[in-house]
Amino acid sequence: MDEGSLSLPPFTGYDEKSLRDYHLALRGNSLNPMIDAATPLLGMVMRLSTMNSQTMPEHLFAQVVTDVQAVEQLLQEQGYEPGVIISFRYILCTFIDEAALGNG
C-alpha cells in the first residue's frame, strides 16, 4: 500500500479533554525497574493535576501510603539496597507532595 492510497482525515490537534484522557500502562514498560515499580503512583500524580482540594478523595492519603509501601516491598524483592530504597522513596514522596500542594 502506497502513501497516496491512504485516506485519513487531517490532524486538527488535541483538544483539552483528549490530553487528559491518556493511557498509562501500570507496569512493565520502563527500562528502569525503579520507575517501573512507581509508575502507578506517577500516573496518580498526573491525575492530580485535574483535581482541586475539594474533589480529592478522603482516602487518597492512605492509598498513597499503601502504594509507596508496595513500591518499597517490590524494590526489596528485586534486591535493591535499603539506602537506595529510602532515597527513592524520599524523591517519590517529595514529587507527590509537590503535586498535591500545587492543587490545594
Task: Provide the residue ranges of all domains of the chain, joining segments of one domain with +.
Answer: 32-104
Are residues 64 and 41 in contact, defined by beta-carbon separation less than 8 angstroms?
Answer: yes
Above 50 in pLDDT, residue 14? no
CB-based burial label for 71 (10 Å; 0-12, 13-18, 19+)? buried
CATH class belonging to 32-104: mainly alpha
8 A C-beta contact, residue 54 and residue 24: no
Question: Which of 5-9, 21-25, 32-36, 78-82 is the most confident on average?
Answer: 78-82
Chain position carrying cell 520502563: 30
Q: Is the pLDDT of residue 4 over 90?
A: no
Q: 11 or 73: which carries more pLDDT confidence?
A: 73
Place of cell 482540594: 53
Going by pLDDT thresholds of 50, 70 and 90, the confidence category of residue 11 is: very low
Q: Is residue 97 helix, strand or coil?
A: helix
